[in-house]
């Protein structure tokens, strides 16, 4: 019998922090029809004419702030995760890593599995909460590639793992070292999405952003909603740490452009908490399974400095899942399921 193929896919990273490589990465990322979900002409003009030319030099500088001797932290930790999952699964499995954008590519990883004559492929998009722009894009890319093969093995996907118990425990363990009870407030800051992308996931057309607190509880209507799954992740971590509901806020960072994105925005929450006299904040970013630009710079540097300018004292990031053994076990369990 052939080996079982396991494909771990994260978002991606430039090959280097230099402007040219950042430009290539942003072009591929933002030209994805699921990321900027407008008509092709408008997307092309927006991305190639405005966003990439202006953002590439700025983003390059930010990547240089987090790039170290191991290269991109996201790629570094993703490689470790892949190696550890392969080690635990053993010789009956063939584990590959891919990035949705740039390298290693999904195509190259799938070609290695094809050459290895795997008997099946399970794809694990490394995004705990489902979003069309992340998990949905990975699934579409894999299906497009495999659909062209003459022989297609059984292919399955992990849709989301926002409530995975071991993942929740890992975030809680990471937070305990900072003594959460000593902080004035806790933030669960998720990567943002345009509101229109949430609305597209509401097939009823009368629930998302139309019902009060529509994301506070999971139900059949919002079970695939990124925001609802994020709220559920935050609730489960808070419960594990005995954090009361009034002591934490779910918010969204990394807004791009002027149109409405999922709210509240993390920057607005920082202003509110500073006005309320809060001084010390503990911040989770549970949309990421490995530390990256959004955690290591946006939260650790930008939000920390912004909060201090507003009168606060400290913003402490709870590190991501990275190579934590519990999370590796969670991935192994998903691979075997």
The answer to whether 240 touches 233, Cβ cutoff 8 Å, is no
Q: Round to whole Å and give the CA distance between 21 and 47.
A: 16
Classified as helix, coil or strand, 13 is coil
Query: Per residue in 70-105, is it b (16+ CB within 10 Å) or e — as a string?
Result: eebbbbbbbbbbbebbbebbeeebbbbbbbbbbebb
The answer to whether 186 touches 193, Cβ cutoff 8 Å, is no
Q: Round to whole Å and give the CA distance between 78 and 97.
A: 7
Q: Identify the CA nearest to 13 among candidates 128, 104, 142.
A: 104
Sheet strands (E) in the chain: 4-12, 93-101, 120-125, 155-157, 185-191, 248-253, 280-284, 314-317
Q: Check whether 191 is labelled as a binding-site residue.
A: yes
The answer to whether 158 touches 312, Cβ cutoff 8 Å, is no
Q: Is the sign of the CA dihedral 213, 216, 222, 224 positive or negative?
A: positive
Q: Check whether 294 is labelled as a binding-site residue.
A: yes
% helix, strand, coil for the chain, step of 5: 45, 15, 35
The answer to whether 161 touches 167, Cβ cutoff 8 Å, is yes
Q: Identify the CA nearest to 6 among candidates 167, 126, 131.
A: 126
* Residue numbers belonging to the annotated binding site for Fe(2+): 191, 294
Binding site residue list: 191, 294
């Amino acid at each position: 019998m052939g080996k079982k193929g396991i494909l771990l896919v994260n978002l991606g990273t430039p090959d280097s922090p230099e402007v040219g490589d950042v430009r290539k990465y942003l072009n591929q990322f933002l030209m994805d029809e699921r990321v900027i979900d407008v008509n092709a002409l408008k997307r092309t003009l927006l991305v190639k004419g405005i966003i990439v030319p202006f953002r590439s030099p700025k983003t390059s500088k930010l990547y240089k702030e987090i790039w170290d001797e191991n290269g991109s932290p996201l790629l570094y930790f993703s490689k470790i995760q892949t190696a550890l999952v392969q080690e635990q699964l053993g010789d009956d499995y063939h584990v590959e890593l891919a990035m949705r954008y740039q390298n290693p590519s999904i195509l190259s990883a799938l070609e290695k599995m094809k050459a290895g004559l795997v008997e099946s492929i399970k794809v694990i998009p490394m995004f705990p909460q489902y979003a069309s722009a992340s998990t949905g894009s990975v699934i579409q890319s894999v299906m497009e590639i495999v659909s062209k093969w003459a022989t297609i093995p059984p292919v399955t996907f992990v849709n989301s793992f926002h409530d995975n118990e071991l993942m929740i425990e890992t975030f809680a363990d990471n937070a305990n070292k900072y003594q959460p009870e000593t902080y004035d407030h806790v933030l669960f800051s998720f990567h943002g999405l345009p509101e229109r992308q949430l609305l597209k996931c509401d097939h009823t057309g009368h629930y998302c952003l139309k019902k009060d607190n529509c994301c506070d509880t999971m139900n059949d209507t919002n079970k695939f909603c990124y925001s609802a799954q994020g709220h559920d992740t935050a609730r489960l971590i808070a419960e594990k740490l005995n954090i009361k509901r009034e002591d934490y806020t779910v918010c969204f960072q990394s807004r791009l452009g002027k149109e409405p994105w999922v709210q509240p925005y993390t920057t607005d929450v920082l202003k509110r908490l500073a006005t309320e006299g809060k001084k010390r904040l503990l911040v989770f970013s549970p949309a990421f399974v490995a530390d990256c630009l959004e955690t290591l710079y946006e939260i650790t540097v930008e939000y920390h400095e912004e909060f201090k300018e507003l009168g606060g004292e400290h913003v402490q990031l709870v590190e991501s899942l990275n190579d934590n053994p519990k999370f590796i076990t969670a991935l192994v369990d998903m691979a075997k399921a």
